[in-house]
């Protein structure tokens, strides 16, 4: 039995837009919906036929192959071949067509269909493109807020001349004689337990069920050519060095319209000039001058988004830590935000004018400049804590 033209099945013109195809499919799917036509085999067939047509025509690459090679370019080899689509694919369409509320009724129908057709893992072997790895360098500021990046990715893309099939034209695609287009070969093996049936993918056609007699000259039969894609990726706030984000289907294309590989995006953190990252917290080493440490004052502290003014108490001791709440980085799993820890040191001048020297000599005899025992203990306790 020859297959009907997909455009005819959906009742749309050859140059129909994606939207027209979607609308036409929606109409057919509602009309032949199995719940509406219980026990009606003809309606069920029509429903499946429409789903198959939509599966091909809603996918740009598949539609292009179909336009160029007809039924031989998609699914099985030539006339009468079984549609190789997975039933899950049908139902993945319903999400965008019906907004998901048809879900469970359809799913039951799908499982029944899948079992009846023997599609439990027996559909044709799909090739998968290889994964690609790229690095993305991010500043702390970008990490603090999250950022959208456009990445120019060099990759293998589907050959536009043959739509990824690697064939010169429709006449160059033949049913694989070894597996008769099934993509699978069955072997019987004698064992001590009796005869065992083994199934494996046909090596002559790589499981596609098709062999190519004349290669596409543009891609030398590979179905793939070197190309480039600009990929837009959203980096969530709070990512860390060496974290890896995955974008499914954005890696290298596969031959024969198989599944694209993934794009793996490795995060590389640009070191900040002044801030040090410690998990979700940030650390800033502040060196106070002696008068401000003694008298108190206001200092400017850098944060990921500009400077903030911070009050310094009089008599601030070295190694004191000020905690600026929520001025750190957000947790990548969105459980709160870290703090900015200001680690205080005190700068002791190395050179003094003779006047300054005299002033300090006066202080030398003042008991206020001598640390009490209590002060010393606090200082060494803090010091000890740093190494715990
Ligand atoms: Zn084969
Ligand atoms: Zn080609």
| Residues 6+ positions from 383 with CB-CB distance below 8 Å | 319
Look at residue 67 in the predicted model and tell me its pLDDT: 85
Our count of domains for the chain comes to: 4
* 10-residue averages of pLDDT along the chain (388 residues): 85 92 89 83 88 89 83 56 40 41 36 36 64 95 95 93 86 90 83 77 83 91 92 93 92 86 95 95 96 96 95 93 95 89 96 95 89 73 67
Q: What is the pLDDT of residue 349?
A: 94
In a domain? residue 254 = yes
The neighbour count for residue 340, using CB atoms within 10 Å, is: 23
Q: At what angle do helices 18-31 and 41-57 cross, to 10 degrees?
A: 170
Range of the domain at 208: 170-213
Residues 188 and 91 in one domain: no
Q: Nearest ligand, CA of residue 223?
A: 2
The size of the chain, in residues, is 388
3-state secondary structure of 350: coil
Q: What pLDDT score was predicted for residue 29?
A: 85
Q: Report CA(210)–ligand 1 centroid distance (Å).
A: 6
Please indicate, yes or no, whether residues 28 and 67 belong to a single structural domain of this protein. yes
Residues 179, 293 within the same domain: no
pLDDT of res. 188:
79
Q: So what's the pLDDT on residue 104?
A: 36
pTM above 0.85, yes or no: no
**Residue 80 Cα, ligand 2 centroid: separation in angstroms?**
25
Same-domain pairing of 87 and 209: no
67: CA distance to ligand 2 center in Å? Answer: 15
Residue 219 included in any domain:
no
- CATH of residue 346's domain is 2.60.260.20
* Statement to judge: residues 50 and 85 lie in one domain: yes
Ligand 2 centre to CA of 302 (Å) is 56
Give the ligand with the smallest distance to the CA of 65.
2
Q: In this structure, are residues 338 and 280 in contact, taking their beta carbons and an 8 Å threshold?
A: yes
CA distance 139 to 305: 11
- The upper half-sphere exposure of residue 139, i.e. CA atoms within 13 Å in the direction of its Cβ, equals 8
Same structural domain for residues 111 and 186? no
DSSP string, 25-84: HHHHHHHT-TTTSTT-HHHHHHHHHHHHHHHHHTSHHHHHHHHHHGGGGSSSSSTTPPP-
Number of H helices, E strands in the chain: 10, 15
């Amino acid at each position: 039995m020859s297959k009907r033209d997909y455009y005819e099945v959906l009742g749309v013109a050859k140059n129909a837009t994606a939207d027209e195809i979607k609308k036409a499919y929606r109409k057919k799917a509602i009309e032949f919906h199995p719940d509406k036509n219980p026990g009606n085999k003809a309606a069920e067939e029509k429903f499946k036929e429409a789903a198959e047509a939509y599966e091909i025509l809603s996918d740009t690459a598949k539609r292009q192959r179909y336009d160029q090679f007809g039924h031989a370019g998609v699914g099985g080899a030539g006339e009468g071949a079984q549609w190789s689509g997975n039933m899950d694919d049908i139902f993945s369409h319903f999400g965008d067509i019906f907004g998901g509320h048809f879900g469970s009724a359809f799913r039951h129908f799908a499982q029944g269909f899948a079992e009846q057709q023997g599609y439990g893992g027996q559909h044709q072997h799909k090739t998968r493109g290889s994964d690609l790895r790229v690095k993305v360098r991010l500043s702390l500021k970008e990490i603090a807020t999250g950022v959208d990046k456009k990445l120019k990715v060099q990759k293998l893309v589907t050959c536009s001349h043959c739509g990824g099939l690697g064939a010169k034209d429709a006449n160059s695609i033949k049913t694989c004689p070894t597996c008769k287009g099934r993509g699978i070969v069955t072997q019987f093996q004698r064992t001590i337990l009796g005869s065992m049936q083994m199934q494996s993918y046909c090596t002559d056609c790589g499981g596609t069920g098709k062999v190519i007699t004349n290669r596409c000259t543009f891609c030398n039969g590979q179905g793939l050519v070197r190309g480039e894609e600009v990929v837009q990726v959203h980096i969530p706030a709070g990512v860390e060095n060496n974290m890896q984000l995955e974008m499914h289907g954005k890696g290298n294309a596969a031959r024969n319209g198989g599944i694209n590989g993934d794009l793996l995006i490795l995060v590389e953190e640009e070191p900040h000039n002044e801030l040090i990252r410690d998990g979700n917290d940030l650390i800033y080493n502040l060196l106070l001058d002696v008068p401000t440490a003694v008298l108190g004052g206001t200092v400017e502290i850098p944060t990921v988004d500009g400077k903030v003014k911070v009050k310094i108490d009089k008599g601030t001791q070295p190694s004191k830590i000020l905690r600026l709440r929520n001025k750190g980085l957000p947790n990548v799993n969105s459980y709160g935000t870290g703090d900015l820890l200001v680690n205080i040191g005190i700068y002791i001048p190395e050179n003094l004018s003779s006047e300054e020297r005299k002033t300090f000599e006066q202080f030398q005899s003042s008991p206020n400049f001598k640390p009490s025992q209590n002060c010393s203990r606090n200082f060494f306790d803090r010091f000890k804590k740093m190494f715990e």
